[in-house]
């Protein structure tokens, strides 16, 4: 019942605003209406929209100089938007206000009226004041009631960190293990002498890649790989001593054929006509050095 009564009051007020000035319309003005929203229930920050409609016989416009200016009207009221558009012989003026009044109790406030001047004829139309009620957002007496005083914000609940922490530790251990294994394979860590000789040969052969199997590069490649074999045996190793080498170092026995081809090719380069038979380029030497490095790590 109460919403129906409020709606009826709002309709009557709007009808009165439309009809009250109708009896005093200047010549040539067919209709003048001032439409407003409900006049109650506003709080600080609310927007209030008014609409003024004017219809004339000749379709005159509204003098721009008579329009209200956007900006502060007083210390608590701001006119945010002023728009005029044409609908046939009708001019529609839209006004948007914003209230910044913070009352301590329900209070009546008034938006001041103004006059509009019609273009050409100079006739004036008065837009009346408009009164509305505004209310506080909350009552001050609430703070005086027992148990309803302002309290500090509740502390946020702690987020579970066990899972992420465990994942971080696991990732760190995995990364450390991978780094240690890479260092082991590259002979960067002092794990005795295993893998150091052929790892150094691999590094030297990688540096020779750009020389494209020139004679100088081949000589350097054969020399560094021979040095690795000599350091492994702890004395110079020749092709005649390979069988004894394999008996004393069985980890290299799966590479017997490739190592023998290397020694044959080396003999041709250093003591033959210079052309290795069978062919043994730098890429093949580097592959043999990597295989020997892995074998060296497996040897007892």
Are 133 and 188 in a shared domain? no
* End-of-domain residue from the set 107, 137, 167: 137
Burial of 76-115, coded b for 16+ CB within 10 Å and e otherwise, reads ebebeeeeeeeeeeebbbebbbebebebeeeeebebeebe
Are 129 and 205 in a shared domain? no
In a domain, 145, yes or no: no
Are 131 and 232 in a shared domain? no
3-class DSSP state of 30: strand
Structure tokens at 194: 């295993």
Are 212 and 128 in a shared domain? no
Tokens 């054929």, residue located: 257
In a domain, 156, yes or no: no
pLDDT above 60: residue 295: yes
Are 290 and 191 in a shared domain? yes
Query: How does DSSP classify residue 294?
Result: H
For residues 92 and 85, what is the distance between their CA atoms, to the nearest angstrom? 6
Greater model confidence, 197 or 13: 197
Are 273 and 194 in a shared domain? yes
Are 234 and 289 in a shared domain? yes
CATH number at residue 8: 2.60.40
In a domain, 176, yes or no: no
In a domain, 178, yes or no: no
In a domain, 26, yes or no: yes
In a domain, 171, yes or no: no
Nearest Cα neighbor of 34 from 100, 110, 114, 120 is 114
- Ranges of beta strands (E only) in 130-231 are 130-134
pLDDT above 70: residue 2: no
Nearest Cα neighbor of 27 from 123, 153, 161 is 123
Are 107 and 224 in a shared domain? no
Domain that holds residue 29: 2-137
Are 112 and 201 in a shared domain? no
pLDDT in tens, 35-68: 999 999 899 999 999 999 999 887 788 888 999 9
Are 8 and 108 in a shared domain? yes
Are 9 and 124 in a shared domain? yes
Are 215 and 119 in a shared domain? no
pTM of the model: 0.43
pLDDT in tens, 218-244: 888 889 999 999 998 889 999 889 999
Number of domains in the chain: 2
In a domain, 76, yes or no: yes
pLDDT in tens, 91-140: 999 999 999 999 989 999 999 999 998 887 778 889 999 999 999 987 66
In a domain, 155, yes or no: no
């Amino acid at each position: 019942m109460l919403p129906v009564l409020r709606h009826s009051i709002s309709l009557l007020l709007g009808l009165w605003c439309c009809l009250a000035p109708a009896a005093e319309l200047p010549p040539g003005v067919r209709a003048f209406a001032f439409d407003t929203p409900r006049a109650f229930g506003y709080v600080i920050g609310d927007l209030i929209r008014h609409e003024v409609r004017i219809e004339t016989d000749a379709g005159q416009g509204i003098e721009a100089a008579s329009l209200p200016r956007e900006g502060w009207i007083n210390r608590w009221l701001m006119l945010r938007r002023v728009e005029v558009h044409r609908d046939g012989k009708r001019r529609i003026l839209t006004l948007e206000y914003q209230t910044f009044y913070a009352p301590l109790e329900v209070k009546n406030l008034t938006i001041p009226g103004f006059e509009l001047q019609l273009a050409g004829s100079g006739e004036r139309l008065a837009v009346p004041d408009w009164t509305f009620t505004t209310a506080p957002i909350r009552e001050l007496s609430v703070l005086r009631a027992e148990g309803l005083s302002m309290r500090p914000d509740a502390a946020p609940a702690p987020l579970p960190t066990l899972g992420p922490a465990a994942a971080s530790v696991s990732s760190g251990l995995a990364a450390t293990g991978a780094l240690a294994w890479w260092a082991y394979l590259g002979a960067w860590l002092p794990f005795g002498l295993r893998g150091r000789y052929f790892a150094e040969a691999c590094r030297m052969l990688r540096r020779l890649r750009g020389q494209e199997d020139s004679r100088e590069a081949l000589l350097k490649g054969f020399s560094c790989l021979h040095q690795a074999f000599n350091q492994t045996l702890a004395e110079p190793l020749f092709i005649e001593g390979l069988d004894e080498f394999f008996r004393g170092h069985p980890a290299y026995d799966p590479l017997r054929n490739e190592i023998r081809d290397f020694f044959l090719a080396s003999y041709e380069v250093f003591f033959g006509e210079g052309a290795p038979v069978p062919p043994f380029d730098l890429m093949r030497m580097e592959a043999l050095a990597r295989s020997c490095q892995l074998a060296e790590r497996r040897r007892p």
